[in-house]
Amino acid sequence: MSFHPLMDYGKGMHQSQRALADEGPAFVFTAENLATLEDICSRYPAERRKSAVIAALYLAQRQQGYISRNAMKAVAAAIRISTAEVEDVVSFYTMFYQRPVGKNIIQVCRTLSCALNGAERLTDELQKVLGISTGETTADGAFSLFEVECLGACDRAPVVGVNDDWHECQRPEDAQKLVDGLRTKGAASLTGCHLHKEHS
């Protein structure tokens, strides 16, 4: 059975559409997100809409906080590919969350240059302050803690990503300050990327 990119697979007729069980709240892209997605699709040849699948998943994740299976089905319909192809992508890339995560996703870089500058101790401290282990979310849903790989800013070690933003030169002893800052002032409490200062 072929997957013709221009065929309308959105009607739940196809084998792979049936195979993916429902999970999560009902998911419908907002009109605004659909318009954004069409704009992004126009950057690729018409028969290559699949190139926009990562962008579509980002939109879905932003809309709902994580990628549920219902969201995957909506993405498949919007991109006109099978749900299997969407699952394939979601399960490969680390930045897609398949379960609900905290409002603040704290991602400590654990790779060598950051580790040489105290990233291990920083993770220890954050685990203590938040009362969770890496990979977990606090009971109030405010924070998730992950370790991630080199963020491409090793001169500002240790680097911490927080949602779409990031925080540089975070010392282990200031872990409490990082968490308090996020609680009270949100992203405004972060240093941001030093190269990006003038843009924001």
Partner 1 sequence: MELILTPHVNTPNGFTLDFYVKQGGYEALRKALSMTPDDVVDVVKASGLRGRGGAGFPTGMKWQFVDKKSSKPKYICCNADESEPGTFKDHVLMERNPHLLFEGCLIACHAIGAKVAYIYIRGEFYHVQEVLEAELAKARAAGFIGKNIFGTGFDCEIFVHRGAGAYEAGEETALIESLEGKRAQPRLKPPFPAVAGLYDCPTAVNNVETLCNVPPIITRGAEWFASLGPEKNGGPKLYCLSGHVKRPGVYEAPMHVTVKELIYGEQYGGGIRGDRKLKAVIPGGSSVPILLPDQIDIPASFDGVMKAGSMLGSAGMIVMDETTCMVWAAENLLYFYKHESCGKCTPCREGGDWLHKLLGRIERGEGQMKDIDLLLSVANNITGKTLCAFGDAAATPVLTTVGLFREEFEAHVREGRCTLKADWRSEARAHAHAH
Q: How far is the CB of 119 from partner 1 (least distance, A)?
A: 9
Return the residues of window 117-176 that contact partner 1 according to CB under 8 A. Answer: 117-118, 120-121, 123-124, 133-135, 146-157, 161, 164-166
> Residues 17, 36, 63, 111: which binds partner 1 (CB under 8 A)?
111
Query: 53, 39 in Cβ contact below 8 A?
Result: no
Interaction pattern, residues 14-53, with ligand FES; x per rule: CB under 6 A: ----------------------------------------
Q: Whole-number minimum distance, CB 93 to ligand FES, in Å? A: 18
Interface segment toward ligand FES; rule CB under 6 A; list 9-17, 104-112, 173-181, 187-195: 104-112
Rule CB under 8 A: is residue 9 a binding residue for partner 1? no
CA–CA distance, 200 with 196 (Å, rounded to integer): 7
169 binds ligand FES (CB under 6 A): no
Residue 38 engages partner 1 in binding (rule: CB under 8 A): no
Size of the residue set binding ligand FES (CB under 6 A): 12
3 state SS for the chain? CCCCCCCCCCCCCCHHHHHCCCCCCCCCCCHHHHHHHHHHHCCCCHHHHHHHHHHHHHHHHHHHCCCCHHHHHHHHHHHCCCHHHHHHHHCCCCCCCCCCCCCEEEEEECCHHHHCCCHHHHHHHHHHHHCCCCCCECCCCCEEEEEECCCCCHHHCCCEEECCEEECCCCHHHHHHHHHHHHHHHHHHCCCCHHHHHHC
**Site map (CB under 6 A) of ligand FES, residues 126-165, x = contact:** ------------------------xxxxx--x-x------
114 belongs to the binding site for ligand FES (CB under 6 A): yes
- Applying the rule CB under 8 A, the residues between 42 and 81 that interact with partner 1 are 43, 45, 48, 50-55, 57-58, 79, 81
CA distances from 167 to 43, 54, 152, 186 (A): 32, 25, 13, 12
- Site residues (vs ligand FES, CB under 6 A): 109, 111-114, 150-154, 157, 159
